[in-house]
Amino acid sequence: MDHLFAVAPFTGYVYPNETIFGWSIMIVIYPYLSGLVAASFTVSSLYQVFGIKRLRPVAHFALLTSLCLMLFVPVSLMLHLGHPERALNSMFTPHWSSAMAMFGYLAGMYILLLVLEIWFIFRPYIVQRAQSGKSLMARLYNLASLGSHDLSEAAISHDRKWIFALAVTGIPAAHGFHGYTGFIFGSLKSREWWSSDLMPVIFLFSSIISGVALITVLYVLSCKLRKVAVDTDCLKGLGYTLWGFVMFTLILEGVEFGSVVYKAKEGIDIIMEYVTTRLVVPFFLLQFAVGAVTPTIILSYVFWKRATGKVLVAAITVSAALALLNVLMMRFNVIIGGQEISKTGHGLLQFPWVFLGRHGVLAGISVLAAPFVLLSILVRLLPPWVDGKNCNKAIA
């Protein structure tokens, strides 16, 4: 018997079918990764569409990050469901009344959009490498160029128009791709912890937090590995963006929790018991105090003091890392927490943790780590850096 479907310990009045957890740790990983995908693309679009010049050093890097993450988003779902060979069935025989059935179409369209935008941005670099000799890599780059070797000003101008159009299209596509996750949880009336009109909005804004935080941490780490100076203007831009969204989302989550308490619908007693007992550490301490309030205080202080140099870099990086924890705990507390509260409203269950197996912690860590292994390879094939010392030939 699969570990996921082992009977979970419980207290109070619980129906026998409620002792089974339908959604495992992989369903925590899935919206976490999809949120990182959407927000990484947003960071790139802030430069490509809105012309925020200070984000230029990370614009191309964010795009590559989004693609690497996107390629592993379905993996968490397939590990959870099993039978990956059936993954395309929902696209060939869709159930149009199901929001989940739309995932395949949204994911496929978004991957195609990412690949196209990356190709247009890096086409000059690909052409340059294709013309560098007759080695195996040169031939592979020649194949990747699709026979388009024109680097005239007119051709580059045409590429820029395509990049802009794809970036504009990708903004609603990326957030629609992730927003439906929050829509699914918010529309489930059978779970008091999930049923909220603000759930899709909270998922969207928290995803922006996680994406900006991820690009911040990866950018600083990449600068250290490449032994180049961190562009503090770019880092401050990421820090200001993170600061604003963390504060806004913190207020939004507070309003959402307050509305649940104020409405006091059926089941509020068990929710309050759950929140004031089991959720004290993961919800109030890790998610809010450590993951949201602490980075807000740190960023507010360094911006107020106009910190510079290593202090600024350290403060923003630490705040970004804490914000990543905040969003991960938010996903965990929503998805696992919602299942630990019985539908009867008279009992609590205990999530059955496992380490091995396709629903285990090790599998979850592996899925989270895999996109970054791929990213480390991709940035060598298509260098995204525009910091002078390691400047590539991509369209800036």
Polymer length in residues for the chain: 396
pLDDT per residue rounded down to tens, the chain (396 residues): 454 555 555 565 566 666 666 778 888 888 888 888 888 888 888 888 888 888 888 989 999 999 999 888 888 888 877 777 777 777 777 777 766 777 777 777 888 888 999 999 998 888 888 887 778 888 888 888 888 887 888 888 888 888 888 888 888 877 776 667 766 776 666 666 676 667 777 888 888 888 899 999 999 999 989 888 888 888 998 999 899 888 888 888 777 777 767 765 666 667 777 777 777 888 888 888 888 899 999 999 988 988 888 888 999 999 999 999 998 988 888 888 777 777 666 667 777 777 887 777 888 899 999 999 999 999 999 988 865 444 455 666
One DSSP character per residue, 367-395 reads: HHHHHHHHHHHHHHHS----SSTT--SS-
| CATH number for the domain harbouring residue 309 | 1.20.1630.10
Counted domains in the chain: 1
Residue 169 lies in a domain: yes
pLDDT value, residue 389 = 46
Residue 172 lies in a domain: yes
pLDDT value, residue 16 = 61
168-196 residues labelled b (16+ CB within 10 A) or e (exposed): eebbebbbbbbbbbbbbbbeeeebbbbbb
Residue 87 lies in a domain: yes
Take residue 231 and report the two structure tokens written for it.
């562009």
Selection from 362, 363, 361 nearest residue 353 by Cα: 361
Domain, as residue range, for 286? 3-381
One DSSP character per residue, 300-361 reads: HHHHHTT--HHHHHHHHHHHHHHHHHHHHHHHHHHHHHHHHB-TTSEEEE-----SSSTTSH
pLDDT value, residue 191 = 65
Residue 65 lies in a domain: yes
Residue 179 lies in a domain: yes
Residue 386 lies in a domain: no
Residue 391 lies in a domain: no
Residue 395 lies in a domain: no
pLDDT value, residue 13 = 55
